[in-house]
Amino acid sequence: MTDPLDKATSSAPATLGEGCLSRYDPDALSPEDGTDFPDAARLWEAMQQASSLELEAACPESNPETAHQLLQTGSLLFQIGTRSKR
C-alpha cells in the first residue's frame, strides 16, 4: 500500500432488494459496521417524552394521552414530522 489514499477507502455492506425496497442485509452486518446501538430504545423514549412535553406546553388544554397517540410511530403526525426535508 504505497498510495496514502488507499487507506481512506471503504465499502458498503451487502444489500437486499432493489430500488425503494433496497436495504442492508441484516445477516451481513457486524459490530465493525457500527450496527450496535444498545441505547436506541432509551433514546427513542427520551425523544418521544420531549416531543410530548413540547406539545403539552404549546397546548396546555390538550389531553396528554392524545399527544402521546399523535406522536406514536406510524401516526400521520409522526410521519409528517419525521419526513426528510428536500
Q: At 45, list the grid cell.
A: 423514549
* Model pLDDT for residues 3-48, shown as the tens digit of each residue: 766 776 677 889 999 999 999 888 888 877 776 677 888 888 888 8
Nearest alpha carbon to residue 80 among 51, 41, 46, 39: 51
Q: Beta strands of 1-86 (E only): which ranges?
A: 15-16, 23-24
User: Given this model, what pLDDT does residue 26 score?
Assistant: 86
Nearest alpha carbon to residue 14 among 36, 30, 38: 30
